[in-house]
Amino acid sequence: MRPAWVDAVHLGGFVLRVLLKASRTPRCERVLDGMVLVSRAVSWDGGSVVGLLGVVVCAAGPAGGVGELVSLAQGRGWDVQVIATPSALDFIDVEALERQTGNPVRWRYRKPGEPRAPLSDAIIVAPATYNTVNKWAHGISDTYALGVLAEAPGMGTPIVVLPFVNSALAGRHAFKESVSTLRSEGVRFVTGYGERPPRSEGDDRFPWELALREVERAG
Ligand SMILES: Cc1cc2nc3c(=O)[nH]c(=O)nc-3n(C[C@H](O)[C@H](O)[C@H](O)COP(=O)(O)O)c2cc1C
């Protein structure tokens, strides 16, 4: 049975994140990160917080709907932090996502002396672009998102990728090789989405829930 103070820590961390967002200082960040670490350390019995889910969002059409994945994950008990590529910032509403998650949207490397971001317990990359998948597979780490992804397989973090690339890009040898390389390192791909002909329009839903289901299987 989880003691009541554990729930108080979870709730306190969440409320503090929301309240201090506007006046965030390095000291506040450290207090918040400490609370996150404590809350993760004590959520041993499958209680209200499953863990911290990192959602890496890239610059592709469905990115603007990533709040849907956040809601689904929160409904399953995850605390969520969104990690955006710099290009994805044009596609997402950063303030809305910070309000929704209670966590900062991280998109650039911290400056020396700034506190580290908390490590994710599991990661979903969605939508994943041709660009990010290929760079990741080749060890490139020139965005914060790629830096997180570069380390995660070696740390045993479950990772699920939901690409959104058209059929011309999905068929390229480079992309297929990248998927295969990452799979060989334990990264799970849910493929076959967004593979419509280049420059065509489409309004089919992006299946965020498949990524969430897969990451829960992987964990
Ligand atoms: C409106 C728009 C839609 C795009 N859609 C896709 C897409 O569905 N898949 C993709 O791989 N790239 C897409 N791109 C191209 C990427 O945004 C571009 O390759 C970018 O460099 C990716 O950066 P990132 O991987 O760091 O997010 C799109 C670009 C624009 C402007």
Split at pLDDT 50, 70, 90, the class of 4 is low
At 22 the pLDDT is 43
Domain of 41? 1-49
Pair (3, 27) in one structural domain: yes
Q: Do 129 and 29 belong to one domain?
A: no
Shared domain for 118 and 167, answered yes or no, is: yes
Return the residue whose CA atom lies nearest to atom 5 of ligand 1.
60
Q: Domains in the chain: how many in total? A: 2
Report the pLDDT value the prediction gives residue 218, as an integer from 0 to 100: 87
Answer yes or no: do 85 and 1 share one domain. no
Q: What is the mean pLDDT of residues 87-105?
A: 98
Same domain? 56 vs 145? yes
User: Is residue 40 domain-shared with residue 17, that is, in the same domain?
Assistant: yes
Q: Is 87 in the pocket of ligand 1 (CB under 6 A)?
A: yes
Ligand 1 close to Cβ of residue 60 (< 6 A)? yes
- The domain spanning residue 98 has which CATH number? 3.40.50.1950
What separation in angstroms does the CA of 109 have from each of 12, 56, 114? 27, 14, 10
Q: Both 125 and 198 in a single domain?
A: yes
Which of residues 15, 31, 49 is at a domain's end?
49
Starting from the edge strand earliest in sequence, which strands make up the sheet with 122-128, in order?
Answer: 78-84, 51-57, 122-128, 159-163, 188-189
Residue 61 near ligand 1, beta carbon < 6 Å: yes
- Nearest ligand 1 atom to the CA of 130 is 11
Reply yes or no on whether the pLDDT at 64 is more than 90: yes
5 & 58 share domain: no
Atom of ligand 1 nearest to the CA of 129: 11
Q: What is the C-alpha separation between 31 and 113, in angstroms, rounded?
A: 15
Both 83 and 1 in one domain: the answer is: no
Indicate whether 125 and 204 sit together in one domain: yes
85, 131, 142, 179: which to mutate for ligand 1, most atoms within 8 A of CB?
131
